[in-house]
Amino acid sequence: MRFVLALLYRNLVVGRASVQLTLIRVVFQPAIYLFVFGHVVGRVIPVSGQNGYGAVIAPGIIAMATVGAPFVTIGGQVLSGYFFRTLEEWLLAPVTLRTVLAAMLLGGVCSGVINSLVVVILAWLILDLTPSDPAFLLLAVVAGAFLFSLVSLVVLLLPQRPDRGREVFSILMMLMTFFGCTFYSYAMLEPPFSYFALLLPTTYISEGLRAAYAPGQPHLDADAALTGLILIAIVLLPCTDWVFRRRLGSFSW
């Protein structure tokens, strides 16, 4: 447990040391998205419902923070671990390999949740949107951040070199952002696109957040969204454990 807390504290120290970059990424970037797509564009796009397109896009922008932040944290750790050998330092700590894995996953989840909650506050300030069901919002964010912490580790550690994984992740993120119901709701899709969207985890996060914000508006059923997230995480967890042990159990970087 001490190692896990120490690694979380290390992430905090690193974030504090580059506070300007952190603020740009965590606050400034989503604020611009919310203002431009939610406030400016949102007023001219006709969407049924009280809050218009702003209520559709805001959960999607929160979802982007939920999936992007774990990758920034875990990707930073793995890539710096590869290029600067920092991972070797953690692997030399007197803990099991699974403790290192747990610490990295928890770091990813924490950064995903914190970044998402910052965007929730920004959505309130910029678009005057507040979630109808904050508990479900938190649940969707935690599940989404956990899921993308797993995805980040698998994608980065599965190839021989993590910098190749970074390229794969960029492509995955592009697909998931544009086809995973972040800029539009699932209800706006028709087959076969709606079937394809169900394959993408971002769909369940975005739709779960839409359910938390505006239960009255059309979206995937909240339970279905959460079940989708949990099922994908259940499948990915043993994969992540296997990839992590395979790559770092015998450390030859």
Partner 1 sequence: MPAAVCIEDLTLRYPSGAVAVAGLSLDVRPGEIFGLLGLNGAGKSSLIKAIASLLRPSTGRVRIFGLDTRTHAAAVKQRIGVVPQENNLDAALNVRHNLLFRCRYAGIPGHVASQRVKRWLSLLGLEDKAEESVLHLSGGCKRKVMLAKAFVTEPEILVLDEPSAGLDLGVRELLWEQVRIFRAAGNTVFLSTHYLEEAEALCDRIGILHRGRLVSMLACDQGSSLAPGMAAATFRAVTGQAGMDEAP
Q: Is 95 in the site for partner 1 (CB under 8 A)?
A: yes
Count of residues that interact with partner 1, criterion CB under 8 A = 29
Piece of the chain touching partner 1 by CB under 8 A; list 89-97, 121-129, 167-175, 204-212: 89-97
38 Cα distance to chain centroid: 20
Q: Tell the smallest beta-carbon distance from residue 97 to partner 1 (Å).
A: 8
CB 144 within 8 A of CB 66: yes
CA distance 65 to 115: 6
Residue (90 or 186) nearer to partner 1, CB: 90
Residue (96 or 130) nearer to partner 1, CB: 96
CA distance 130 to 80: 38
Q: Give just the sign of the alpha carbon dihedral 214, 179, 177, 102.
A: positive
CA distance 113 to 110: 5
Phi, psi angle pair for 14, to nearest 5°: -65, -45
Q: Is 16 in the site for partner 1 (CB under 8 A)?
A: no
Piece of the chain touching partner 1 by CB under 8 A; list 79-87, 142-150, 178-186, 187-195: 79-87
Q: Is 10 in the site for partner 1 (CB under 8 A)?
A: yes
CA distance 15 to 21: 8
Task: Identify whether 192 is preceded by a cis peptide bond (ω within 30 of 0).
Answer: yes
Which residue shows structure tokens 């914190």?
Answer: 114
Residue (3 or 183) nearer to partner 1, CB: 3
Q: Is 94 in the site for partner 1 (CB under 8 A)?
A: yes
Q: Is 132 in the site for partner 1 (CB under 8 A)?
A: no
Q: Is 223 in the site for partner 1 (CB under 8 A)?
A: no
Residue (5 or 32) nearer to partner 1, CB: 5
Residues that bind partner 1 (CB under 8 A): 2-3, 6-7, 9-10, 13-14, 17, 76, 80, 84-86, 88-97, 99, 249-252
